[in-house]
Amino acid sequence: MSVNDYIKDSAEQAKKNRKERLLYNRIVVYIKDPLPEDFNLDLAIQNIENMVPSQLTYSVDSIFIGQFDHFDKNNTNAFYENGAIYTTNKQANEMDLIDDIVHELAHSIEEFAGDVIYADGNIENEFLGKRKILYHFLKSEGYDVNLADFLNLEYDRKFDEFLYKNVGYERLTFLTVGLFASPYGATFLKEYFANGFEHYFVGDREHIKNLSPSVYNKIEELIDYLKGDQ
Q: What is the mean pLDDT of residues 10-17?
A: 48
Strand-pair partners of 23: 27
Closest alpha carbon to 181 in 106, 91, 117, 94: 106
Whole-angstrom distance, CA of residue 187 vs CA of residue 127: 10
Orientation angle between helical segments 122-140 and 189-202, nearest 10 degrees: 100
pTM: 0.89
CA distances from 37 to 21, 125, 142, 143 (A): 17, 45, 47, 44
Distance CA 189, CA 183 (A): 13
Taking only the tens place, the pLDDT of each residue in 140-172 is: 999 999 999 999 999 999 999 999 999 999 999
Cα–Cα distance for residue pair 94/109, rounded to 1 Å = 23
Task: Output the average pLDDT for the chain.
Answer: 91
Q: What is the mean pLDDT of residues 13-25?
A: 76
| Nearest by Cα to 84 from 62, 100, 101, 68 | 62
Burial of residue 71 (number of CB atoms within 10 Å: 0-12, 13-18, 19+): middle
CA 125-129-134 angle, 5° bins: 145
**Do the Cβ atoms of 226 and 139 come closer than 8 Å?**
no
For 200-217, the pLDDT digits (tens) are 999 899 999 999 999 999
**DSSP letters spanning 161-190:** HIIIIIIIHHHHHHHHTTT-SSGGGGS-HH
Residues 81-135 have pLDDT tens digits of 999 999 999 999 999 999 999 999 999 999 989 999 999 999 999 999 999 999 9
Residue 2 banded pLDDT, cuts 50, 70, 90: very low
* CA gap 130, 153 in Å, rounded: 12
Amino acid at 168: G
